[in-house]
Chain A
Amino acid sequence: MDKYKVSLKNRTNALSLVAAATLLIYVGLMYFQGGLPKLPSFIKGFHIGAFIGVELFVVSYLAKYMKAAKNETELKKLYIKESDERSGLILQKTATLGMSITFVGLAIAAIVAGFFSSLVFYTLLAALLTILIMFFALLVYFSKKN
Chain B
Amino acid sequence: MKTRIAELRKQHKLSQEELGLAVGVTRQTITSLEVGKYTASLVLAYKIAKYFGLAIEDVFDFSEVEEEL
A80 touches B21 (CB 8 A): yes
Residue contact B21 to A84, C-beta cutoff 8 Å: no
CB pair A85–B21 under 8 Å, yes or no, is no
Contacts of A146 in B (CB 8 A): none
Question: Does the CB pair A83–B32 fall under 8 Å?
Answer: no
A81, CB-defined interface residue at 8 Å = yes
Q: Kindly state the separation between the CA atoms of A22 and B1 in the bound complex, as whole angstroms.
A: 48
Count chain B residues whose beta carbon lies closer than 8 angstroms to a beta carbon of A: 12
- State whether A86 touches B24 (Cβ < 8 A): no
Output the nearest chain B residue to A77 by Cβ-Cβ distance.
Answer: B21
Q: Which residue of A lies closest to B37 (CB)?
A: A86
Mark each residue of chain B from 9 to 43: 1 if its CB lies under 8 Å from any CB of chain A, else 0.
00000000000110011101100100000101100
Please tell me the number of chain A residues within 8 Å of chain B, measured between CB atoms.
11
- Which residues of the partner chain B approach A84 to less than 8 Å between Cβ atoms? 24-26, 28-29
Nearest residue (CB) in A for B29 is A86
Contact yes or no, B21 A86, CB < 8 A: no
Pick the most buried of A81, A84, A86: most chain B CB atoms within 10 A of its CB.
A86
> How far is it, in angstroms, between the C-alpha of A87 and the C-alpha of B29 when the chains are bound?
8
Q: A80 contacts B32, CB within 8 Å?
A: no
Contact B44 A80 (CB under 8 A): no
Most buried by A among B21, B26, B38, B44: B26
Question: Which residues of the other chain, B, contact A44 by a CB distance below 8 angstroms?
Answer: none
In the bound complex, CA of A89 to CA of B41 (Å): 11
**Distance of A79 Cα from B23 Cα, bound (Å):** 12
CB distance from A4 to the nearest CB of B (A): 12
